[in-house]
Amino acid sequence: MSMRTPLGKVLGLGSAHGGTDHFWRQRLTSVANVPLTVFFVFFVIISSLVHMRIGMQVIIEDYVHGEFAKIVLLMLNTFFTLVVGGLCLFAVLKLGFGG
């Protein structure tokens, strides 16, 4: 008694013998995607924060005319960027580890 389906008997189709290869490729790519995804998320956050800081720095330098106020605002801009970066890092880690 054969284990093949009637259609498989007629068409002569059997196993493609590629299941193990497919299985290992899928496991390998899933393991490789973990560090790549982590790198991508942190790269996007850092890039966005740098972009935000530079944009505000240009606006402050162009439109604030007092030297003391300019220095204070540039320091606050850097501090604000660090705070937002820390909050973003906290949010991503909380999402990643559940919470």
pTM: 0.70
pLDDT of residue 15: 64
What is the token pair recorded at 7? 């259609």
Contacts of 90 (CB under 8 A, 6+ apart): none
- Which contacts (CB < 8 Å, 24+ apart) does range 63-68 have? none
| Domain presence at residue 45 | yes
| Domain presence at residue 24 | no
Per-residue pLDDT band at 7 (split at 50, 70, 90): confident
Q: How many Å apart are CA 62 and CA 70, to the nearest integer?
A: 10
Q: How many Å apart are CA 9 and CA 3, to the nearest integer?
A: 10
First CA to last CA across the chain, in angstroms?
55
| Domain presence at residue 49 | yes
At residue 44, φ and ψ (nearest 5 deg) are: -65, -45
Which residue range forms the structural domain that includes residue 45?
A: 37-99
| Domain presence at residue 30 | no
Domain total of the chain:
1
User: What pLDDT digit, counting tens, does each position of 31-81 carry?
Assistant: 999 999 989 998 999 999 999 999 999 999 999 999 999 999 999 999 999
Residue 85 has pLDDT above 80, yes or no: yes
